[in-house]
A and B are shown apart, each in its own frame.
Chain A
Amino acid sequence: MITTLSPKQQKTLIRIILAFAILVSVIILQQTNIVSETAILLVLYLVPYAVIGYDVLTRAGKNIFHGKIFDENFLMTIATIGAFALGEYPEAVAVMLFYQVGELFQSYAVSKSRKSIAALMDIRPDHANIESNGQLIEVDPGELKTGDVIIIKPGERVPVDGVVISGSSDLNTMSLTGESLPRPVDAGDEVISGCVNMSGLLRVRVQKPYGESTVARILDLVENAAAKKAKTENFITTFSRYYTPVVVGVAAALAVLPPILFGEPFVDWVGRALIFLVVSCPCALVISIPLSFYGGIGGASRNGILIKGGNYLEALAKTETVVFDKTGTLTTGSFRVNSIKPSGEMTEEQLIMYAALAESSSTHPLAASIRAAYGKEIDRSVVANVTETAGRGVSAEVSGRVVLAGNAKLLADGGVAIPPSAPAGTAIHVAVDKIYAGYLLFSDTAKPSAKKAVNDLKKLGVKHTAMLTGDAEAAAKLTAEELGIDSYRAGLLPQEKVSGLEDIMEKFGGSTAYVGDGINDAPVLSRADVGIAMGSLGSDAAIEAADVVLMDDDPAKVATAVRISKKTFWIVRENIVFALGVKFFVLAFAAAGFATMWEAVFADVGVAVIAILNAMRTLGFSEK
């Protein structure tokens, strides 16, 4: 442990050991009656006191000079000098000693958690390899310019965002996304800074300078996250500003009033007042609360969740309503045939066959899903005269019969009437030889983890889940029912999503989170209490507009983010209740004359250390 201490901490440790040794010797001298003269004892006790407390005393003196009196140095000085005045020499020295032990422990805990946080953020690349005259030179990533070609060797970190020119490899994106599965990359693929190249040599063309690359922006974001303070943090700062003077005021009253009003002995009440002073330092709260929030933000970022500030973490923890965007957020955006509705004498098999054959050469995404639904080998030799009209559909001859497959407009152009019972959603209508043959209905595929995400959020105490989408009613209803989402609004234009969200916020109240893809959703993201952008690794728009950025496409991360926020917030509340509880308890005992200096020091330093250790638990938050 000693080697990990800073020079300043080592010096304090030596002083503690020295002062402790002298104190014990002096106590032995006193107990064995070798020295019994009070004046000599006082001088002897002042030696360890000076060794352990000189810095506190000088700081207290300087601070009074600066007009800043109510700090802990001042409190400890008054308390210990008071104890000397009351003749409690060993207590005076021991209080100062105990205080320094606590301070050392506190400082060690703080530097340890600072280090763990720095380790969490260890995605900064230290160098880049640039090729020059056939030789590799190592340069600082900051020197790279757009268009430069860099070499990334196996085991190295991708220094800037770029495109692979040649080579193939697997990238470990763990530190960015929390995803342990390696991502394969080939020539033409984009690579994102901060990932680790695992296997092959990659030649990469730089697309963004270091300052604009993902890694720099993430580091900037997480480091600046502490600047946006949570309400609880601001409350504690304000609280401590009033708390200390109030306690000092009460202590002064305690020392003076009972002796004057009731003729009680001065010595007793001054002693109680001194204990009051020692308890009054709000350090436990002032350190442990920002530490908890920072730890929570750090732990979340290890899971691929970037939270832009303590205020958003707090809002996430209180989330009661979660509103999702549909396409790209809950669903993959790729369509599949959901139902086949033949009309007249047509069978389901015939309908899908005609549609698949007519669409056999189309590149439209719906055509691909029709072929997938057909599932059989497509015999292109029976298909002829294919004409595809953009925004309408396909007309083709299949085994000599004229097939139209497309939207209502295509069929209307071909002179085929669509029965009024046909749905308005995403459908492909089919006509064979000018006779209406039926339609195929499509729906978006839900992401594998979408249902789990909604379930987990419910378990975490989210009261209402909702979905806003520009898609048709039928498709929205289907997705909402499949995933167990409480309510939905369909057919919304992008600008209508804001009012849709506002309606939900008004109706359900509480903290509302909106989850979207961050590109089209900027206004909605900023309107919600917490805007969560997902699947937008490296997208400027998402990082700008959102309060929380999920580094991959996984909606289950929304639940993870809420879980981490709740745990963090729980620890924050634990610390507030614990620290204030112990302090008020000891203050009450002190006023009643039951507490000694020892309990007082525990209520100050001991509580601070316990609160810090509790806060450090946030650093370990992970997936489960």
Chain B
Amino acid sequence: MKKTFRMENLECAHCAALMETGIRKIDGVSEASISFMTEKLIIDAEENRFDEIMTEVRNICKKIEPDCRIR
């Protein structure tokens, strides 16, 4: 399942790249891409574990940029 999320307070492009690398490594994620300019996260992941995966995604992003929220 492919979904797009809005990322608020994404301030550093380097962090976005780190988040992207981190999210891609999550089990069940087949593709992830963060656009720093549009503040969007596009993620393609296993449908039945999607919520679980998103919790992990949020944890990763929080670690890298504490102010960043995923909507």
Contacts and interface: CB of A to CB of B under 8 A. Distances in A.
B64 interface: yes
A226 B37 CA distance: 8
Given A68-B63, A294-B37, A283 B9 contact: no
A374 B64 CA distance: 76
A432 B14 CA distance: 79
B14 A8 contact: no
Interface stretch (A144-152, A284-292, A321-329): A284-292
A286 B17 contact: yes
Given A8-B9, A59-B66, A62-B66, A290 B14 contact: no
Contacts of A113: 37
Contacts of A82: none
B8 to A, nearest CB: 10
Contact of A223 (B11, B12, B36, B38): B38
Interface string A113-125: 1100100000000
Nearest to B37: A294
Contacts of A224: 42
Contacts of A71: 14
Interface in B3-42: 9, 11-14, 17-18, 33, 35-40, 42
B25 to A, nearest CB: 14
B26 to A, nearest CB: 17
A290 B37 contact: yes
Nearest to B10: A110
A376 interface: no
Given A59-B66, A68-B64, A227-B42, A291 B37 contact: yes
A226 B14 contact: no
A287 B13 contact: yes
A117 B36 CA distance: 12
Given A114-B37, A117-B38, A290-B37, A282 B66 contact: no
A250 to B, nearest CB: 20
Contacts of A240: 14, 17
Contacts of A290: 13, 35-37
A237 B33 CA distance: 13
Nearest to A114: B37
Given A114-B39, A223-B38, A226-B38, A286 B66 contact: no
A291 B63 CA distance: 24
Among the interface residues B11, B13, B36, which one has the most CB atoms of the partner chain A within 10 A?
B13
Nearest to A228: B33
Contact of A66 (B9, B12, B14, B63): B63
A286 B36 CA distance: 10
A107 interface: yes
Interface string A56-75: 00010010001010011000
Contacts of A117: 37-38
Nearest to B33: A227
Contacts of B17: 237, 240, 286
Contacts of B9: 8
Contacts of B12: 72, 283, 286-287
A62 B64 CA distance: 10
A237 B38 CA distance: 18
A59 B36 CA distance: 20
A286 B13 contact: yes
Nearest to A234: B17
A113 B33 CA distance: 20
Among the interface residues A59, A287, A291, which one has the most CB atoms of the partner chain B within 10 A?
A287
A223 B18 CA distance: 20
By size class, the interface of chain B is 10 to 19
Contact of A283 (B14, B33, B35, B64): B14
A107 B37 contact: no
Interface in B31-69: 33, 35-40, 42, 63-64, 66-67
Contacts of B13: 283, 286-287, 290
Contacts of B66: 59, 62
A267 B12 CA distance: 33
A237 B66 CA distance: 21
A8 to B, nearest CB: 7
B71 to A, nearest CB: 15
Contacts of A66: 63
A585 to B, nearest CB: 22
Contacts of B63: 66, 68
Interface in A108-155: 110, 113-114, 117
Contacts of A282: 14
Contacts of B38: 114, 117, 223, 226, 294
Contacts of B14: 71-72, 240, 282-283, 286-287
Interface in A242-288: 282-283, 286-287
A227 B36 CA distance: 10
Nearest to B36: A290
A23 B38 CA distance: 38
Nearest to A289: B13
A223 B64 contact: no
A301 to B, nearest CB: 13
A286 B21 CA distance: 14
A223 B39 contact: no
Contacts of B67: 8
A107 B33 contact: no
A436 B14 CA distance: 77
Contacts of A62: 66
Contacts of B11: 107, 110
Nearest to A65: B63
A77 to B, nearest CB: 16
Interface of A: 8, 59, 62, 66, 68, 71-72, 107, 110, 113-114, 117, 223-224, 226-227, 237, 240, 282-283, 286-287, 290-291, 294
Interface of B: 9, 11-14, 17-18, 33, 35-40, 42, 63-64, 66-67
Given A114-B39, A117-B37, A240-B14, 15 more contacts: A8-B67, A72-B14, A113-B37, A114-B38, A223-B40, A226-B36, A226-B37, A227-B33, A227-B35, A282-B14, A286-B14, A287-B13, A290-B13, A291-B36, A294-B35
5 contacts: A110-B11, A286-B12, A287-B12, A290-B37, A294-B38
